[in-house]
Structure 1
Amino acid sequence: MLYKQSLKQTITAMGCWLFLPVSLFAHDPIFSPGPHVLFKDGFEIHTEFVRSEQGDESDSEQAIALKYGITGDWVIGIEQPYQIIKDEFGSQSGVGDILLSTKYRFWREDTPGVQESAAVLVKVKLDSSNDALTTDTVDPVLGFTYGYESLTWYRFNQNNDQLQRGDRLFVDLAGGYRSQLNDYREADTVWLLELNGEFIKRNAFNGLDLNNTGGNQWFVSPGIMLTYRNFAVKAGIQLPVLSNLNGDQPRADYRARQEFEWHL
């Protein structure tokens, strides 16, 4: 199918830790990247499971990523996905294309109990797999993200543009709430609620637009983040609230994501 992609329609959330005297309270949204980066010479091992269903089709993906903090404001990463797609024609599975990523935090301001920061990011899907699920293209993703975090409240704004096979614009507005402020040595819980929007142009084949591609979708996405020292678990679900897809495309029933992060 021409419009199937191994690069997920939601970008992998890239989380990290920030150590402050008041508390550990740096988190990123679940369904989009936030502005946080690793500490200098730090490593992050990141695993995730993503599943989406739309009509008679389902798409499951497992991925493992490794990230490295070049400086306290600049991180690079590499990710390897494995994908399983089921539709009316049967089931396909295989190793997806490798993804390379980098993020640079260009602004940060700390005040008592509050941190604001902003970052730019680039992600590139390589044409590295020989499996049937590969798209045989190199796809870049460009993005900007801003975050406001206090000891209790979180706010994120993020947008990015994926080029290839129809330009895409993703928008994510996320807010989080911590009901109880704990010490670093104790487990920490943050509840999240995101609003995710997708604006997708039609794909083209030999210069001609494909009718059953492109359109707009909006999701409401509740989630939870559990952290303990240098470990974090995230889980969330995207629930469609508005869908305006072109032609005959199955509408999303839901998308679910679970992630595990370990910082070294």
Structure 2
Amino acid sequence: MANRLRFAAALIGWITIGVSDASAHHPGIGGIGGAGGIFTIGAGTLDEGQFAFSTYVDYLRLKQLSEPTLLANVGNDVHGLQTVESYAVALAYGITNDLTVSVRLPWVRRTGILEAVQEDPADPAAVRDRSSTSGFGDVTLLAWYRFVNNQVSRTQAAVLFGVKAPTGTTDLVNRFGELFDAEFQPGSGSWDGLFGAALSQRLTSALSLHANVLAIATGTGTQNTNLGNRFHYNAALSYRVFGETTNEPHTHDPRKAYAHAGRSHAMVTKAPTVAAPHGHIALDALLEINGEWHDRQRIAGISDPNSGGNTIFVSPGLRLTVDNWSSYVLVGIPVVNDYNGVQATPAWRTLVGVSAVFEP
């Protein structure tokens, strides 16, 4: 039973990340489960009737473009950017033992937006600090259906599907009264589809492996801008440092072990739930590889050469579970920054969150 709560508490940690608002400009897909990852999506699901809540902060720091670089690219739609921050609340619910749905409500902030301008050909170009943007972001609905739950091989697999709705703010202006470009608005103004798959494999009683891919088909939104399709690929190893371990993938039924391993998604029989043992404490150490390929954005159908690319993070993290509460922290260091043209690239990122799971 404690394994079930570990799984669900970790699972909601992934749900909160969902499709990070940093993804509008940089990577940010999340996924976790019982001993799963934090960004990596595993194949586990909440039990039928379980409800989970989480709140988190996702902070991405970028390498700000230098003034000479900005001045050399006047008129090329090149911008500096210092941080992308997301403050979110997420809710998840187990419709069945194999189908979980979630919703994520984000507040998004971007700082250090710089641009070189030359208003008169007779005057020298100058770098303008356009300050920052902040506001309510786009709501993401995500579901995952687990279609493999093999207790012998301790393997789970799931399909992922969802939609991002254009609920965010898209009309912010800078200190000069000019409309911010679409890529800096909290909302995209577009409907986006999400499709993917996840796999979880228990290797030992304390060690598990999780992996996922997720494609995001992006529609055209505000300012006639398509921010570009994205493809996320992640893998995570999770090791139980101390606390209860199990030889099952993740037992969650008091009468029979049912596999639970993974973050964000076989037919099983639902047994009556029981309370978790009071005072249960466990600590997981994690190591993840998180990658995102991002297509070029298109404005009025014209491709922007200074957009898109590929980034890969190596991300160690920790997750502490106490009864039905879970807290987690993860730090990502980029090992690949293969961007098109001239762009601000990631320097590091961190995610800190707290979640809780409640029984029906």
Scaled by the length of structure 1, the TM-score of the pair is 0.88
RMSD: 1.8
Q: Tell me, which stretches of 5 or more residues in structure 1 are unaligned?
A: 16-25
Equivalents in 2 of 1:134, 1:59: separation in Å? 13
Mark the CA change 1:47 to 1:12 in structure 2 (over 3 Å): closer, same or farther.
farther
Alignment partner, residue 330 of structure 2: 236
Alignment partner, residue 108 of structure 1: 149
Equivalents in 2 of 1:106, 1:7: separation in Å? 30
Asked if the contact 1:151/1:181 (under 8 Å) is kept, the reply is no
**Bigger shift: residues 180-189 or 241-250:** 180-189
Alignment partner, residue 77 of structure 1: 102
Alignment partner, residue 127 of structure 1: 166
How many residue pairs match? The answer is 248
Q: 1:43-69: CA deviations, max 9, x gaps?
A: 000111100011231011110011111
Correspondent of 2:207 among 125, 149, 153: 153
Alignment partner, residue 238 of structure 2: 176
Equivalents in 2 of 1:214, 1:222: separation in Å? 25
Correspondent of 1:163 among 217, 233, 248: 217
Equivalents in 2 of 1:38, 1:238: separation in Å? 27
Equivalents in 2 of 1:146, 1:261: separation in Å? 23
SS of residue in 2 equivalent to 1:70: strand
Asked if the contact 1:154/1:175 (under 8 Å) is kept, the reply is yes
SS of residue in 1 equivalent to 2:212: strand
Alignment partner, residue 247 of structure 1: 341
Cα deviation for residue 109 of structure 1 reads: 1.3
Q: 1:37-94: CA deviations, max 9, x gaps?
A: 1111110001111000112310111100111110001011111100111022201111
Cα deviation for residue 207 of structure 1 reads: 1.7
Scaled by the length of structure 2, the TM-score of the pair is 0.65
**Matching of residue 40 in structure 1 with residue 41 in structure 2:** no
**Bigger shift: residues 61-70 or 161-170:** 161-170
Equivalents in 1 of 2:151, 2:352: separation in Å? 30
Alignment partner, residue 282 of structure 2: 188
Cα deviation for residue 231 of structure 1 reads: 1.4
Question: Relative to total residues, which structure has the larger strand share, 1 or 2?
Answer: 1
Asked if the contact 2:22/2:84 (under 8 Å) is kept, the reply is no
The share of aligned pairs that are identical, in percent, is 26
**Bigger shift: residues 56-65 or 175-184:** 175-184
Alignment partner, residue 13 of structure 1: 31
Letter in 2 for 1:129: G
Cα deviation for residue 213 of structure 1 reads: 0.7
**Matching of residue 96 in structure 1 with residue 123 in structure 2:** no
SS of residue in 2 equivalent to 1:179: strand
Equivalents in 2 of 1:12, 1:157: separation in Å? 11
Cα deviation for residue 13 of structure 1 reads: 2.9
Equivalents in 2 of 1:84, 1:222: separation in Å? 25
Equivalents in 2 of 1:14, 1:46: separation in Å? 13
Mark the CA change 1:29 to 1:169 in structure 2 (over 3 Å): closer, same or farther.
same
Asked if the contact 2:35/2:238 (under 8 Å) is kept, the reply is no
Q: Which has the higher contact order (CA 8 A, sep 6+)?
A: 2
Q: 1:219-248: CA deviations, max 9, x gaps?
A: 100011111222111110110111110011
Mark the CA change 1:193 to 1:6 in structure 2 (over 3 Å): closer, same or farther.
closer
Equivalents in 2 of 1:130, 1:197: separation in Å? 27
Mark the CA change 1:220 to 1:14 in structure 2 (over 3 Å): closer, same or farther.
closer
Equivalents in 2 of 1:194, 1:209: separation in Å? 32
Letter in 2 for 1:174: A
Asked if the contact 2:108/2:134 (under 8 Å) is kept, the reply is yes
Equivalents in 1 of 2:307, 2:162: separation in Å? 23
Q: Tell me, which stretches of 5 or more residues in structure 2 are unaligned?
A: 1-19, 65-81, 115-129, 173-185, 219-226, 246-276
Question: Relative to total residues, which structure has the larger helix share, 1 or 2?
Answer: 2
Cα deviation for residue 211 of structure 1 reads: 0.8
Alignment partner, residue 54 of structure 1: 62
Alignment partner, residue 68 of structure 1: 93
Letter in 1 for 2:212: Q
**Bigger shift: residues 165-174 or 50-59:** 165-174
Alignment partner, residue 23 of structure 1: none
SS of residue in 2 equivalent to 1:256: strand
Alignment partner, residue 22 of structure 1: none
